[in-house]
Amino acid sequence: MEPEHDDAVVAAIAADPRYETLVRERGRLGWLLSALIFFSFVGYLGVIAFDKAALAAPIGGGVTSVGIPVGLGLIVLTIVVTALYVRRANGSYDARLAALLKDHQA
């Protein structure tokens, strides 16, 4: 692509309201999910720092403690949230992006 054409395309996209909407929506989802992961993990560390006994308490009559599903759950949550974002971004967001780029012949 010619650099001049490239710069013109960038300017045209910046002026397109669909660009702003798309970036804002995708960005909001990213920050929202980042906050979810961040606070889940910091909350987990907080419980560990302040109330170890809560996580050490056995579930039912066995030896398996509350901390096991919480810890493993955090691992699963991380993977699920990642999958959720990738599905959304590679699906509907990328489709909208492709339409936008096509209209500006980028």
Partner 1 sequence: MRRAVAIGATLLAFLPTASLAHAATPSVQQPTNWVAISLFLGFVALTLAITKRAATRTRTAADFYTAGGGISGFQNGLAMAGDYMSAASFLGISAQIFKDGYDGLIYSTGFLVGWPILLFLMAERLRNLGKYTFADVASYRFAQAPVRCFAAASTLLVVSFYLIAQMVGAGQLIKLLFGLPYSYAVVIVGVLMMLYVLFGGMRATTWVQIIKAVMLLGGATFMAVMVMAQFGFSLETLFARAVAAKTAMAAAAGDAPDAAFKAGHSIMGPGNFIKDPISAISFGLALMLGTAGLPHILMRFFTVPDAKAARKSVLWATTWIGYFYVLTFIIGFGAIVLVGTRPEYLDATGSLRGGGNMAALHLAHAIGGNAFLGFISAVAFATILAVVAGLTLSAASAVSHDIYASVVRKGAATSAQELHMSRLTTLAMGALAVLLGLVFEKQNVAFMVSLAFALAASGNFPVLILSLLWRGCTTKGAAIGGTIGLLTAFVLTVLSPAIWVTVLGHEKAIFPYSSPALFSVTAGFVSIWLISLLDRSPRAAVDRAGYAAQRVRAETGVGSFGVSGH
The binding site for partner 1 (CB under 8 A) comprises: 1, 6-7, 9-11, 13-14, 19, 22-23, 26, 29-31, 33-34, 37-38, 40-42, 44-46, 48-50, 52-53, 55-58, 62-65, 67-68, 71-72, 74-76, 78-79, 81-83, 85-86, 89-90, 94, 97, 100-101, 106
The least CB distance from residue 62 to partner 1, in Å, is 5
Expressed in percent and rounded to 5, the helix, strand and coil fractions of the chain are 85, 0, 15
Q: Any idea what the Cα angle at residue 16 is, between residues 10 and 20, rounded to 5°?
A: 95
Query: What minimum distance in Å lies between the beta carbon of 17 and partner 1?
Result: 14
Q: What is the CA radius of gyration of the chain?
A: 22
| Tokens representing residue 3 in the block | 């650099």
